[in-house]
Amino acid sequence: MTHIERDHTWPEISFQDRMDTVRFDVHERAHITVDGRTCEGCSTQACVVACPANLFVPTSDGGIVFNYEQCFECGTCYLVCNEEGAITWTYPDGGHGVVFRRT
Protein backbone atom coordinates (compact mmCIF):
# COMPACT_ATOMS: atom_id res chain seq x y z
CA MET A 1 0.00 0.00 0.00
CA THR A 2 1.56 3.25 -1.03
CA HIS A 3 0.60 6.39 0.70
CA ILE A 4 2.15 9.57 -0.50
CA GLU A 5 3.41 11.64 2.39
CA ARG A 6 6.10 14.06 1.45
CA ASP A 7 7.33 17.40 2.53
CA HIS A 8 5.55 20.07 0.60
CA THR A 9 8.49 22.12 -0.47
CA TRP A 10 6.35 23.97 -3.00
CA PRO A 11 5.90 27.55 -1.84
CA GLU A 12 2.16 27.60 -1.39
CA ILE A 13 0.16 30.78 -1.43
CA SER A 14 -2.43 31.42 1.23
CA PHE A 15 -5.88 30.00 0.66
CA GLN A 16 -7.34 33.48 0.55
CA ASP A 17 -4.89 34.47 -2.19
CA ARG A 18 -5.88 31.31 -4.04
CA MET A 19 -9.56 32.22 -3.87
CA ASP A 20 -8.79 35.81 -4.82
CA THR A 21 -7.83 34.55 -8.29
CA VAL A 22 -11.46 33.62 -8.90
CA ARG A 23 -14.14 36.08 -9.85
CA PHE A 24 -17.47 36.01 -8.04
CA ASP A 25 -20.46 38.27 -8.62
CA VAL A 26 -22.01 37.74 -5.23
CA HIS A 27 -25.77 37.97 -4.84
CA GLU A 28 -27.30 39.05 -1.56
CA ARG A 29 -29.31 35.83 -1.33
CA ALA A 30 -27.40 32.84 0.08
CA HIS A 31 -27.98 30.09 -2.49
CA ILE A 32 -26.79 27.38 -0.13
CA THR A 33 -27.84 27.16 3.48
CA VAL A 34 -26.61 24.74 6.11
CA ASP A 35 -28.63 23.69 9.11
CA GLY A 36 -25.82 23.86 11.65
CA ARG A 37 -27.83 21.99 14.30
CA THR A 38 -28.07 18.89 12.11
CA CYS A 39 -24.29 19.01 11.73
CA GLU A 40 -23.66 18.87 15.47
CA GLY A 41 -24.29 15.14 15.46
CA CYS A 42 -22.31 14.50 12.27
CA SER A 43 -19.24 12.37 12.82
CA THR A 44 -17.71 12.71 9.34
CA GLN A 45 -18.25 16.38 8.47
CA ALA A 46 -17.09 15.42 5.00
CA CYS A 47 -18.01 18.82 3.58
CA VAL A 48 -15.25 20.46 5.65
CA VAL A 49 -12.59 18.38 3.90
CA ALA A 50 -14.08 18.10 0.45
CA CYS A 51 -15.34 21.59 -0.39
CA PRO A 52 -12.73 22.90 -2.85
CA ALA A 53 -13.45 26.48 -1.79
CA ASN A 54 -13.12 25.60 1.91
CA LEU A 55 -16.43 27.23 2.78
CA PHE A 56 -17.44 24.91 5.63
CA VAL A 57 -15.91 25.79 8.97
CA PRO A 58 -16.41 23.55 11.99
CA THR A 59 -17.29 25.40 15.19
CA SER A 60 -16.07 24.57 18.68
CA ASP A 61 -19.52 23.28 19.67
CA GLY A 62 -19.50 20.69 16.89
CA GLY A 63 -21.62 22.63 14.41
CA ILE A 64 -20.76 24.02 10.98
CA VAL A 65 -20.58 27.59 9.79
CA PHE A 66 -20.98 28.11 6.08
CA ASN A 67 -20.10 31.02 3.77
CA TYR A 68 -21.75 31.00 0.37
CA GLU A 69 -19.97 33.95 -1.22
CA GLN A 70 -16.99 32.20 -2.82
CA CYS A 71 -18.83 29.08 -3.93
CA PHE A 72 -17.85 27.26 -7.16
CA GLU A 73 -21.41 25.87 -7.39
CA CYS A 74 -19.86 22.42 -7.95
CA GLY A 75 -22.19 20.31 -5.79
CA THR A 76 -19.51 18.45 -3.85
CA CYS A 77 -20.99 19.40 -0.47
CA TYR A 78 -24.46 18.00 -1.00
CA LEU A 79 -23.02 14.90 -2.69
CA VAL A 80 -20.75 14.01 0.25
CA CYS A 81 -23.20 15.10 2.96
CA ASN A 82 -24.68 12.10 4.73
CA GLU A 83 -27.09 14.04 6.91
CA GLU A 84 -30.37 14.16 5.08
CA GLY A 85 -31.44 17.76 4.63
CA ALA A 86 -28.48 19.44 6.35
CA ILE A 87 -27.57 21.28 3.14
CA THR A 88 -30.16 23.15 1.10
CA TRP A 89 -28.61 23.62 -2.31
CA THR A 90 -29.76 25.83 -5.17
CA TYR A 91 -28.00 27.76 -7.90
CA PRO A 92 -27.42 31.46 -7.34
CA ASP A 93 -29.84 33.87 -9.01
CA GLY A 94 -29.20 34.20 -12.74
CA GLY A 95 -26.07 36.15 -13.64
CA HIS A 96 -24.53 35.80 -10.18
CA GLY A 97 -22.00 33.52 -8.56
CA VAL A 98 -18.73 32.24 -9.95
CA VAL A 99 -17.48 33.52 -13.32
CA PHE A 100 -14.67 31.40 -14.75
CA ARG A 101 -12.26 32.93 -17.24
CA ARG A 102 -9.38 30.57 -17.99
CA THR A 103 -10.74 27.18 -17.17
Per CB under 8 A, the list member of 37, 40, 41, 44 interacting with another protein is 44
Residue 6 near another protein by CB under 8 A: yes
- Give backbone dihedrals phi and psi of 50, rounded to 5 degrees, phi first: -85, -30
Q: Is residue 42 a contact residue for another protein (CB under 8 A)? A: no
| Three-state secondary structure call for residue 92 | coil
Binding site for another protein (CB under 8 A): 1-10, 12-13, 15, 17-23, 25, 44, 46, 49-50, 52-54, 72-76, 79-80, 90-95, 97-103
